[in-house]
Amino acid sequence: MLSFADTLVQGLLLGGLYALFALGQSLLFGVMRLTNTAHGDFIILAAFGAWSLSLLTGSPWLAMLLLLPLAFAGGYLLQRLVLNGTLGKDPMPSLVVTFGLAIIIQNLLQQIYTADPRSIDSGGLNTATFQIAEGLAVGALPLLIFGAAVALTAGLQLLFDRTDLGRAFRAVSDDREAAELMGLDHRHVYALATGIAFLLVAVAGTLQGMKTTVAPSDGPSLLLYAFEAVIIGGMGSFYGTLLGGMLLGVTQGIGFRIDPGWGIWSGHVVFLAALLLRPSGLFPRTR
Amino acid sequence: MTAPFTVSRATRASRIGGAAALVLILGLSTFPFWADAGWMREFDELSCYLIFALMWNLLAGYGGMVSIGQQAFVGVGGYSLLVLGNHLHVNPFLAVPLAVLVTLGAALPISFIAFRLQGGYFAIGTWVISEVLRISVANVSAVGGGSGTSLTALRGISRSTREAATFWLCLAGATMAITAVYGFLRSREGLALLALRDSETAAESQGVDVPRTKRAVYLIAAAGAGLAGALYFLGNLRISPDAAFTVNWSAFGIFIVVVGGVGTLEGTLVGVVLFYLLNKFFSDYGTWYLVGLGLLAVVVTLKRPAGLWGFVSQRFDLHFFPVHRRLIPRERERACAT
């Protein structure tokens, strides 16, 4: 019984990490219907960036702090200079361009950092645990990641619902032409959204690098988890994305428990089942 | 009273090109009698990429369904070949068309899941489906599990027979794939598909059965990818889940189609030749070579969305595989006929 509770708790915590991967993608899809196939690779790029910065500064937290402005600027410029030109009714240009970026990032990382997996030194945080009950312990870092995921979900939802910037996001999402007539420059608004998405990517990448090891070829699987969390949760709802991530984490946890060879598989299959049973996701929002 | 124009589909280039292609195919078919085995092997591999890319182009460039998961069907085709040959003791060469049928059978239920998604999410959803198949196969020890296995069904067949038969199958497969896609595009369903690509709503209002047309395209593309997979692993003699279901298939397919010219058959042919040449001269650069391929795909999409062939065909009005219908005024008809 306790081992089941353990599986459930670890799965939920893992789901927090997946939600963190997914929030950026959820934001991009909500604002501009962009599917960024390089999303996972950007997370890995951020992880390697944080790894290098943490060697320079000696602290993973300082590294994350330094990475944030870089990520925002990178995201803003990427949208402004490249991705804005690919948006439209035809999904092909944005998919091909982001897929091309994914291949460029993977191979550049491999060229610079070699294929070896690396881990960011978290100063012992990744091995610290809290004993909750006999036989049930929770890692300090997973708990922190989970907390960050919940806080960022809430923050993002607040930003979307309550602020001027959030209103601008919703406006360009609903009707770009009308928003333009109201004086919004959609290219700028899109770029701000990508900048914010890249802040989330920077946080997710740093935490992923602290929790486990990262290798240049890890991006695609992170993309798939992020994407599954978004779809299971329902497009356009950040709380849905959080719950989607948790459902995915728990499913994988149970799968791994039954047989390590089928853990990832169970997550994928639950996603496909969810797609068949509830194609609009658990908590769809029409935006 | 007759209309003041006629409808023409052929162009001078298509007539000359058709004749040249026939000569080329006949010439190639004599390869096994005199050519080096290394050449044949390269041709085999190239034709697999060509078939895969043609099908990706049909699906994405004409059907508007951009998929990053077509490697699912490469894997199904390859593993069907393995099971038919190794376990059911079917002649491995005969197993190739049967593997295509198996892939077709697998694609039908899969299409119902994939079609729940649209646009960018279709692209990644199909990738998930391919991953599910990869992990499933990797967990089945009877087909070699994660490390894969050899095509032992080819034991007892002499090397020269095997090489010649594989080569002819690849040549036939590539020829069939080109003719099938070309034929489909020129047919009634093909016209419906072109209408659908331009506007689903308008096409539907003209009586096009949109879901049926899309599913037909998806099934043809899957069968073609299955053919590419069966042929590839017939030539490779060995199959593993990571090689069969690798996303590289889609990456190379996308590169070939996009750089060559999306939405044209000529573009895919140009793209495959370019891909072959780049691979031959630059693949030693490893990661930088792949960075270059990615960069080229990005730059072409942004700056020359019609691709290499699109640039040429717009410039010179050259069409070797005309799928359009052209109106020719009566007074020009005689001039065109000669």
* Distance spanning both ends of chain B, measured CA to CA: 25
Contact criterion met (CB < 8 Å) for A99 and B297? yes
pLDDT of B338 > 50? The answer is no
Residues in chain B: 338
Looking at residues B42-65, what average pLDDT do you find? 93
Q: Which residues of B175-193 are buried (b: 16+ CB within 10 A; e: fewer)?
A: bebbebbbebbbeebbbbb
Per the structure block, which two tokens stand in for B162?
Answer: 């095997």
A217 touches chain B (CB under 8 A): no
pLDDT of B10 > 80? The answer is no
For residue A282, tell me if it sits in a domain. no
Which residue of B lies nearest to A260 if distances are taken between CA atoms?
Answer: B139
Looking at residues B210-232, what average pLDDT do you find? 94
- The CATH number assigned to the domain holding A233 equals 1.10.3470
Q: A248 to chain B: which residues are within 8 Å by CB? A: none
For residue A171, tell me if it sits in a domain. yes
For residue A174, tell me if it sits in a domain. yes
Selected residue with higher pLDDT from A64 and B200? A64
Interface subset of B 98-117, CB within 8 angstroms of A: 112-113, 116-117
The backbone torsions φ and ψ at residue B328, rounded to the nearest 5 degrees and listed phi first, read -120, 120
- What are the tens digits of pLDDT across the range A125-150? 878 888 877 778 888 899 999 999 99
pLDDT at residue B246, rounded to an integer? 93
For residue A263, tell me if it sits in a domain. yes
Looking at residues A79-89, what average pLDDT do you find? 90
Selected residue with higher pLDDT from B297 and B326? B297
| Residues β-bridged to residue A130 | A138
Q: Which residues of B160-173 are buried (b: 16+ CB within 10 A; e: fewer)?
A: eebbbbbbbbbbbb
Contact criterion met (CB < 8 Å) for A82 and B129? no
pLDDT at residue B18, rounded to an integer? 83
For residue A125, tell me if it sits in a domain. no
The answer to whether A24 touches A208, Cβ cutoff 8 Å, is no
Q: B66 to chain A: which residues are within 8 Å by CB? A: 91-92, 95-96
The answer to whether A76 touches A189, Cβ cutoff 8 Å, is no
Rounded CA-CA distance B114/B67 in Å is 10
* Residue that is written with structure tokens 């991967």 in the block: A21
Note the pTM of the prediction, 2 decimals: 0.92
Q: What was the ipTM of the complex prediction? A: 0.91
Residues in chain A: 287
For residue A181, tell me if it sits in a domain. yes
CA-based torsion, B252, B258, B264, B266: positive or negative: negative
pLDDT of A2 > 70? The answer is no
The answer to whether A206 touches A113, Cβ cutoff 8 Å, is no
* Domain encompassing residue A156: 2-115+137-277
The answer to whether A136 touches A5, Cβ cutoff 8 Å, is yes
pLDDT of B303 > 60? The answer is yes
For residue A201, tell me if it sits in a domain. yes
For residue A121, tell me if it sits in a domain. no
How many structural domains compose chain A?
1
pLDDT at residue B168, rounded to an integer? 95
Looking at residues B20-44, what average pLDDT do you find? 88
pLDDT at residue B324, rounded to an integer? 72
Q: Residue B98: count other Cβ atoms within 10 Å of its Cβ.
A: 17
Residue A236 to residues A23, A91, A244, B116, Cα–Cα distance (Å): 10, 18, 12, 17
pLDDT at residue B203, rounded to an integer? 85
